[in-house]
């Protein structure tokens, strides 16, 4: 059997599942944000939903700035859930559940909730809309969360926690 | 921003359609699965780079073109601006904290909503954590805002 050329071997190692699912998915994520932007001028991010929804149940002054946008942010999130459900029905053929330990999800979630809101954005706000805006703030934010995420995930894996 | 009373009738439907495409894309990219994100962060599959940069490429084009084509957004009358937020150390501190959580759990907010959509009920742990974290920082910042106002005696 003839070995693949070296670049192909490297690509197969770095991208064992190919790139099409990632690239097509990413283009669709961008398209979803673009549809909203073209109609409304709003660059939507996913993590503001956490605070805007808390404004329904909490009188803390921090959340009041999101009262005006909380209903459409709820609709946006509902759309995300339903859009993913369409994928599950069409391509997945049923529910899929994670094997990641519950305590990793819970504790990690707390850090995500604090960090995205203090840091002014998440993977969609900074990563997709901010980077698309060539915003220096967002690019620095992405570098910050990407680096700490890589270090954290590598340490957790090195400690033998799987998954 | 349009308030609930004087909104264009197509405003909410358009938000829903945008969300549907956004969520379908997140599921299609497999980013809604924490294992895939963890594999990326452990350099076992770098495909996830294409999700973020694929998304940013589309928004980049639209953010560049729209202000040159239209003065005002049709459904809100809002202007077309890029997403530019002011930089301060909170961007790095918050980003760093978010990264620790993302690296521990393998899930970020948008992907968590999509994860629920693909039937991953276990992700409710992460969503509960995110709401708790968002509440904690909101509680703390509301208090420190109040203290600052009391100290300076002004807004």
State whether the Cα torsion A98-A72-A25-B82 is positive or negative. negative
- Measured between CB atoms, which of A16, A116, A124 is closest to B94? A116
The distance in angstroms from the start CA to the end CA of chain A is 36
A92 interaction partners in chain B (CB closer than 8 Å): 27, 118-119
Instruction: Name the DSSP class of A28.
Output: H
- CA-atom Rg of chain B in angstroms: 19
Identify the pLDDT of residue B2.
47
CA dihedral A114, A117, A119, A124 (to 10 degrees): 110
> Whole-angstrom Cα distance, residue B82 to residue A37?
10
- Looking at the complex, report in whole angstroms how far the Cα of residue A8 sits from the nearest Cα belonging to chain B: 15
Identify the pLDDT of residue B122.
98
Instruction: Name the DSSP class of A64.
Output: G
Identify the pLDDT of residue A9.
85
Which residues lie across from B72 on neighbouring strands? B79
> Whole-angstrom Cα distance, residue B111 to residue B77?
30
- Measured between CB atoms, which of B82, B85, B119 is closest to A120? B85
> Whole-angstrom Cα distance, residue B142 to residue B52?
32
Rounded to 5°, the CA angle B124-B96-B108 comes to: 25
A38 interaction partners in chain B (CB closer than 8 Å): 62, 66, 73
Identify the pLDDT of residue A151.
98
B154, pLDDT greater than 70: no
Question: Does B103 contact chain A (CB < 8 Å)?
Answer: yes
> Whole-angstrom Cα distance, residue A87 to residue A37?
23
The distance in angstroms from the start CA to the end CA of chain B is 23
Identify the pLDDT of residue B147.
84
Identify the pLDDT of residue A132.
95
CA A12, chain centre distance (Å): 25
The predicted-structure confidence for A15-63, as pLDDT tens digits, reads as follows 999 999 999 999 999 999 999 999 999 999 999 999 999 999 999 999 9
> Whole-angstrom Cα distance, residue B144 to residue B116?
34
The predicted-structure confidence for A78-123, as pLDDT tens digits, reads as follows 999 999 999 999 999 999 999 999 999 999 999 999 999 999 999 9
* Of B153, B109, B21, residue with least CA distance to A127: B109
CA nearest to B116 within chain A: A81
CA B77, chain centre distance (Å): 23
The rounded mean pLDDT for chain B is 94
> Whole-angstrom Cα distance, residue A85 to residue B80?
31
Would you say A54 and B134 are in contact if contact means Cβ atoms under 8 Å apart? Answer: yes
ipTM passes above 0.85 = yes
Residue ranges of the domains in chain A?
98-163
Identify the pLDDT of residue A159.
96
Q: What is the pTM of this model?
A: 0.94
State whether the Cα torsion A119-A123-B55-B118 is positive or negative. negative
Above pLDDT 90, what percent of chain B? 88
B4, pLDDT greater than 70: no
> Whole-angstrom Cα distance, residue B11 to residue B23?
18
């Amino acid at each position: 059997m003839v070995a693949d050329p070296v670049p192909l071997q490297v690509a197969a190692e770095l991208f064992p599942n190919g790139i099409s699912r990632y690239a097509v998915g990413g283009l669709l994520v961008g398209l979803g944000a673009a549809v909203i932007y073209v109609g409304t001028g709003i660059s939507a991010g996913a993590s503001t939903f956490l605070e805007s929804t808390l404004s329904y149940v909490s009188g803390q002054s921090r959340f009041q700035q999101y009262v005006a946008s909380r209903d459409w942010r709820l609709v946006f999130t509902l759309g995300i859930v339903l859009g993913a459900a369409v994928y599950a029905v069409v391509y997945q053929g049923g529910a899929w559940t994670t094997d990641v330990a519950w305590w990793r999800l819970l504790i990690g979630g707390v850090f995500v909730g604090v960090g995205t809101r203090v840091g002014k954005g998440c993977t969609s706000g900074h990563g997709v809309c901010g980077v698309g805006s060539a915003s220096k703030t967002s690019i620095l934010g992405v570098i910050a969360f990407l680096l700490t995420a890589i270090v954290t995930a590598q340490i957790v894996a090195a400690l033998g926690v799987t998954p | 921003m349009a308030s609930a009373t004087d909104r264009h009738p197509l405003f909410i439907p358009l938000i829903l359609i945008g969300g549907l495409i956004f969520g379908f894309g997140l599921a299609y990219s497999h980013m809604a699965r924490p294992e895939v994100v963890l594999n990326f962060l452990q350099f076992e599959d770098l495909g996830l780079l294409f999700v973020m940069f694929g998304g940013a490429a589309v928004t980049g084009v639209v953010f560049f073109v729209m202000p040159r084509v239209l003065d005002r957004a049709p459904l809100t009358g809002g202007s077309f601006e890029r997403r530019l937020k002011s930089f301060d150390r909170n961007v790095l501190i918050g980003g760093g904290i978010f990264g620790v959580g993302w690296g521990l759990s393998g899930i970020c907010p948008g992907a968590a909503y999509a994860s629920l959509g693909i039937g991953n009920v276990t992700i409710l742990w992460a969503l509960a954590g995110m709401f708790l974290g968002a509440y904690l920082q909101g509680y703390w910042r509301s208090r420190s805002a109040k203290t600052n106002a009391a100290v300076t005696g002004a807004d």
